[in-house]
């Protein structure tokens, strides 16, 4: 049965955009356009007024939420579906209240199950009408707050923030200044992060390089 809801798909990964849009159309989802840049997305939204936007959360240099909020100002009832490779939004520097109301969040590994995407698209319109908070959609198309429990869930907010700063290339002393703590405290937190991720200190490898590599794996972005 064809889903008549009009959908705009936005991703700056050309291969992902093309394959996902084509697969959704084959699944009878009414994809009216796809955009690979923020400018194109804004123009297409303006002229086509889609009922739902399906957007990569790290679209256009992590400007996806700003873009969605602009769209919502035009249409407060816009359905929002966000894709991400990261099971813990804190690693992206986000907290739940920053995600637009009613947003359906899908892990990219679940996107191959098009019934999940179809469910999210339909549910996004219901959720915004009922002013519900954001929801993760698991691989079975159901809502479950523990569906994405991972090793990251054991990290405290302080550990996550320290990990993000480390991955950005800041030294322990620089992190200490940003967080207004001692360098020794940062060293201890980094050690706990490594322990959580089961990264064992090895003289043949730089611990910070290994941890940074793990960070980029978690957020789904290869380090360039």
Rounded mean pLDDT, 137-153: 58
Let me know if domain 151-219 sits in CATH 1.10.10.10. yes
* Phi and psi, residue 13, nearest 5°: -95, 105
Residues of the chain with CATH 1.10.10.10: 151-219
Residues of the chain with CATH 3.40.50.2300: 3-137
Residues 74-131: tens digit of each pLDDT: 999 999 999 998 888 898 889 888 999 999 999 888 888 888 899 999 999 999 999 9
pLDDT at position 56: 94
- Give the DSSP letter string of 118-181: HHHHHHHHHHHHTTPPPEEE-TTS-B-TTTT--GGGGS-HHHHHHHHHHHTT--HHHHHHHHTS
Q: CA-to-CA distance for 131 and 198, rounded, in angstroms? A: 40
pLDDT at 35 > cutoff 70: yes
Let me know if domain 3-137 sits in CATH 1.20.1440.120. no
Which of these ranges, 60-74, 148-162, 188-202, 207-221, has the smallest mean pLDDT? 148-162
């Amino acid at each position: 049965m064809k889903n008549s809801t009009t959908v705009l798909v936005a991703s700056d990964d050309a291969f992902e955009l093309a394959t996902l849009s084509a697969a959704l159309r084959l699944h009878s989802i009414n994809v009216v356009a796809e955009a690979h840049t923020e400018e194109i997305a804004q123009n297409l939204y303006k002229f086509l007024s889609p009922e739902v936007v399906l957007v990569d959360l790290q679209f256009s240099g992590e400007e996806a939420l700003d873009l969605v909020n602009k769209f919502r100002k035009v249409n407060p009832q816009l359905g929002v579906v966000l894709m991400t490779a990261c099971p813990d939004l804190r690693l992206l520097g986000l907290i739940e209240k920053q995600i637009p109301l009613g947003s359906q969040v899908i892990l990219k590994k679940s996107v191959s199950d098009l019934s999940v995407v179809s469910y999210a698209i339909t549910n996004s319109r219901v959720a915004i009408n009922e002013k519900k908070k954001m929801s993760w959609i698991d691989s079975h198309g159901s809502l479950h707050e523990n569906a994405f429990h991972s090793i990251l869930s054991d990290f405290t907010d302080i550990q996550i923030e320290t990990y993000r700063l480390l991955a950005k290339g800041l030294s322990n002393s620089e992190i200490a200044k940003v967080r207004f703590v001692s360098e020794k405290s940062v060293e201890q937190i980094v050690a706990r992060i490594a322990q959580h991720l089961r990264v064992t200190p090895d003289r043949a490898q730089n611990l910070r390089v290994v941890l940074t590599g793990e960070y980029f794996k978690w957020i789904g972005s290869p380090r360039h």
